[in-house]
Structure 1
């Protein structure tokens, strides 16, 4: 097998892993990876502002609004007026949301982060360089992407 085929197989394995993870997560928690990440961020301190969540995820405020709406509909978070600034709303994890966090499977990106951070600096730099080159080869440099591994609907990506 030539190197081109080997590289395409590796890329396909990465894509397939995110797809399988998304299905596993949906079955286990009834959430998408981005929904789980919103829940995790809000759960770290018990609550977070939508703008803080958007900044952490690297997505727009509108995207966070949609994700929070879905979590509110599932009674996993609630929107509460800030005690410090009445103009601000906090996304607060409910007891049901905390139960989902406690039972959620190990997120694919968390596995990646643990293993990536255990690598030597030179190995991290090499992987980053290779991944950035692959993104450039796929003309994907300008696609809006958050540090959340998720296989989702491509029509939501900016081109």
Structure 2
């Protein structure tokens, strides 16, 4: 009788984790090549495109993305430099600033490949409620096993810091 490998499921789990990391990395490269964007910048453009008047305050963007206002400011600075967004003072409250999607930003959004997280969301939402609960529990357990439960994270699939400028 042959003995099974000592930890066959460990290797399977590590392979699955590696595939997730590689898919995220590959998507980031494709996005950078096709639209010159990071996933976080793409998310800002998506939020603006869906907002009334294609505009939002930095506070609203930060709230939707689950990041700090400083992070949003850094992202918007980078998007402004690329001509994909602009800033404008509110007509009703001059203290308030709005981030506005430009035509260039709308075009970049149209040209960008589907976000990796959109694929995930579609698949996740097609699952039964109990399956979603089990998957979330398993992913939280994996995060804990990697001592990552205390790491601040937003719902944007990216490997690095989301406000970090890229080449």
TM norm. shorter chain > 0.5: yes
Larger Rg: 2
Task: Work out which of the residue numbers 82, 87, 90 in structure 2 matches 1:82.
Answer: 90
Indicate yes or no: 2:70 matched with 1:62.
Answer: yes
Indicate yes or no: 2:139 matched with 1:139.
Answer: no
Q: Distance in 2 between matches of 1:127 and 1:83?
A: 46
Indicate yes or no: 2:108 matched with 1:100.
Answer: yes
Normalized against structure 1, the TM-score is what? 0.94
Q: Shift of the alpha carbon at 1:153?
A: 4.8
Number of residue pairs aligned between Structure 1 and Structure 2: 155
After superposition, give the CA deviation of every residue in 1:14-45 in whole Å (9 maximum; x if it has no partner): 01110001001001100000011011111112
**Structure 1 unaligned regions, length at least 5:** none
Q: Shift of the alpha carbon at 1:80?
A: 0.6
Q: Secondary structure at the match of 1:105?
A: coil
After superposition, give the CA deviation of every residue in 1:99-133 in whole Å (9 maximum; x if it has no partner): 11111111000110011001110110110000000
CA RMSD across the alignment: 1.3
Indicate yes or no: 2:28 matched with 1:22.
Answer: yes
Query: Structure 1 residue runs of 4+, over 2 Å off?
Result: none
Normalized against structure 2, the TM-score is what? 0.89
Q: Secondary structure at the match of 1:59?
A: coil
The aligned residue for residue 37 of structure 2 is 31
